[in-house]
């Protein structure tokens, strides 16, 4: 789950984007990341309810989740502002461009983070609020501050933070955690490296410039391609575990098998291209991973609504 802004590698000027300050603050939350995180939250609420949950609860949980994810992203941009100034992909971010001051960004991150916890406490329940807090703390302290610049496995462990919305959505409905949300947590956790490492191949030079030990910087692209295959297989296998445990019906089962197979095939194609000397086209797998995860969780929501006659 990543921001794919590709601003050219030129000197950054403090110019406002269309929409002024409001748009700059929205950009600080990485809205593309929020979109994908919310895609994994709402469907799980339908599965937890085994039908249509209270729609006000769904809306409230999505608002709280968006604020929580936005807070973590804003903290991340504040902490990474030094390398964002160097990487071409991130030079358009609002702190780097001067649209938002460092102090204002930090205040904003704290403010929406606190609001998200309080909001989920009262709109959902204390368990959902506690999980939201844990997600922010893990992303900021464990991933961004501790792991990102120290280990090639940074993305693997960073996937834990991206998997928390599954737990938040389930707990908002049931005020508990059972095997089903943990299986889907595992799916998102395993999916993250297969999703992000192709992107890191595309922006390998960016990461190398700022000494971020991304797998694509430290290993040959063939080795990266092999790791992407392994994590894609693990993701699909984990997704199939939900079928007997939940249990899931034909909609989810078909999507998990068919699109899971397609996702795996795309990763094998990446590996084959990486073995050659030409363009490995890693973004094909990046976009395929987004499609796969979105479709899988849409199926999670639809499956409980389908009644066989």
Per residue in 70-116, pLDDT (tens digit) is 999 999 999 999 999 999 889 899 999 999 999 999 999 999 999 99
Predicted local distance difference test score (pLDDT) of residue 18: 60
Average pLDDT (114-127) is: 97
What is the residue-averaged pLDDT of the chain?
91
pTM of the model: 0.91
Tens of pLDDT, residue by residue over 226-256, are 999 999 999 999 999 999 999 999 999 999 9
| pLDDT tens string 125-176 | 999 999 999 999 999 999 999 999 999 999 999 999 999 999 999 999 999 9
Q: Is the pLDDT of residue 6 over 70?
A: no
The answer to whether the CB of 100 falls within 8 A of the CB of 94 is yes
**DSSP element (H, E) containing 39:** helix 31-49
pLDDT, position 60:
97
Q: 165-189: string of b/e by CB count within 10 Å (b at 16+)?
A: bbbbbbbbbbeeeeebbbbbbbbbb
Q: Is the dihedral of CA 166, 34, 140, 108 positive or negative?
A: negative
pLDDT of residue 307: 62
Q: How far apart are CA 20 and CA 129, in angstroms?
A: 32
Q: Give the H or E element holding residue 218.
A: helix 215-218
Top-level class of domain 178-304: mainly alpha
CATH entry 4.10.520.10 includes domain 24-151+160-172:
no
Mention every residue, 6+ apart, whose C-beta is less than 8 A from residue 295: 255, 259
Q: What is the pLDDT of residue 2?
A: 42
Q: What DSSP designation does 230 have?
A: H
* Measured distance CA(149)–CA(145) in Å, rounded: 8
Task: Record the tokens describing residue 100, joined without a space.
Answer: 């938002």
* Cis-peptide, bond into residue 148, ω within 30° of zero: no
269-284 confidence digits (pLDDT tens): 999 999 887 888 999 9
Residues of the chain with CATH 1.10.357.140: 24-151+160-172
Domain(s) of CATH 1.20.120: residues in the chain = 178-304
């Amino acid at each position: 789950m990543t921001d794919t802004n590709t601003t050219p590698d030129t000197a950054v000027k403090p110019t406002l984007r269309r929409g002024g300050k409001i748009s700059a603050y929205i950009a600080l939350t990485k809205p593309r990341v929020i979109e994908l995180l919310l895609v994994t939250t709402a469907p799980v609420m339908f599965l937890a309810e085994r039908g249509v949950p209270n729609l006000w609860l769904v809306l409230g949980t999505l608002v709280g989740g968006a604020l929580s994810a936005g807070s973590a992203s804003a903290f991340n941009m504040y902490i990474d502002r030094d390398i964002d100034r160097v990487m071409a992909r991130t030079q358009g971010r609002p702190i780097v461009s001067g649209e938002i001051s460092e102090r204002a960004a930090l205040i904003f991150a704290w403010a929406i983070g606190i609001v998200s916890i309080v909001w989920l406490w009262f709109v959902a329940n204390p368990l959902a609020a506690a999980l939201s807090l844990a997600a922010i703390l893990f992303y900021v302290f464990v991933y961004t501050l501790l792991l990102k610049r120290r280990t090639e496995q940074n993305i693997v462990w960073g996937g834990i933070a991206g998997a928390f919305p599954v737990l938040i959505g389930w707990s908002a409905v049931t005020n508990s955690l059972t095997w089903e949300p943990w299986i889907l947590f595992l799916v998102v956790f395993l999916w993250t490296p297969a999703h992000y490492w192709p992107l890191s191949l595309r922006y390998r030079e960016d990461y190398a410039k700022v000494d971020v030990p991304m797998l694509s910087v430290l290993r040959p692209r063939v080795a990266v391609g092999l790791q992407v295959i392994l994590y894609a297989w693990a993701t699909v296998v984990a997704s199939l575990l939900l079928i007997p445990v939940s249990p899931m019906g034909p909609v989810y089962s078909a999507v998990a098998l068919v699109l899971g197979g397609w996702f795996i095939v795309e990763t094998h194609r990446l590996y084959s291209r990486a073995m050659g000397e030409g363009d490995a086209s890693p973004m094909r797998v990046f976009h395929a991973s987004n499609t796969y995860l979105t479709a899988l969780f849409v199926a999670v929501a639809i499956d409980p609504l389908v009644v066989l006659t």
